[in-house]
Amino acid sequence: DAKTTQPNSMESNEEEPVHLPCNHSTISGTDYIHWYRQLPSQGPEYVIHGLTSNVNNRMASLAIAEDRKSSTLILHRATLRDAAVYYCILNPRGAQKLVFGQGTRLTINP
């Protein structure tokens, strides 16, 4: 399973943008980049995914480097509800499972 590297923890302030980095230098051409988050006492929740181009949805934006060796999840205006562990996951085309790493614990300060 291709590996990703994320900071163990990050802190940000409410109503400010948050940029969560992820390195995946061994990514292959058929690996999709997925982001999930896990709020306290809940199951993981899909945030966004992409292959090569940047992606936007109502929750977040995903910026993918041109060489695809890194990506950044952008929360445009953090709220206290965004405090969670964020997982960056490489999911190969045809993969039958999602493999979680350690993730980044995001703390949002009021």
Partner 1 sequence: DTAVSQTPKYLVTQMGNDKSIKCEQNLGHDTMYWYKQDSKKFLKIMFSYNNKELIINETVPNRFSPKSPDKAHLNLHINSLELGDSAVYFCASSHHGTGGERYGYTFGSGTRLTVV
Q: How far apart are the first and last CA of the chain?
A: 38
| By CB under 8 A, residue 36 contacts partner 1 | yes
Question: Which residue among 34, 83, 84, 90 contacts partner 1 (CB under 8 A)?
Answer: 34
- From 17-25, 31-39, 58-66, 71-79, span contacting partner 1 (CB under 8 A): 31-39
Q: 3-state secondary structure string, 76-103?
A: CCCCHHHCEEEEEEEEECCCCCCCCCCC
Count the alpha carbons within 13 Å of 22 in the hemisphere toward its beta carbon.
30
Q: Is 24 in the site for partner 1 (CB under 8 A)?
A: no
Which parts of 72-91 interact with partner 1 (CB under 8 A)?
85, 91
Which residue stretch of 5-13, 44-52, 55-63, 74-82 sits at the interface with partner 1 (rule: CB under 8 A)? Answer: 44-52
User: Are the CB atoms for 38 and 103 separated by under 8 Å?
Assistant: yes
Residues at the site binding partner 1, with contacts judged by CB under 8 A: 32, 34, 36, 38, 41-46, 49, 51, 85, 91, 93-100, 102
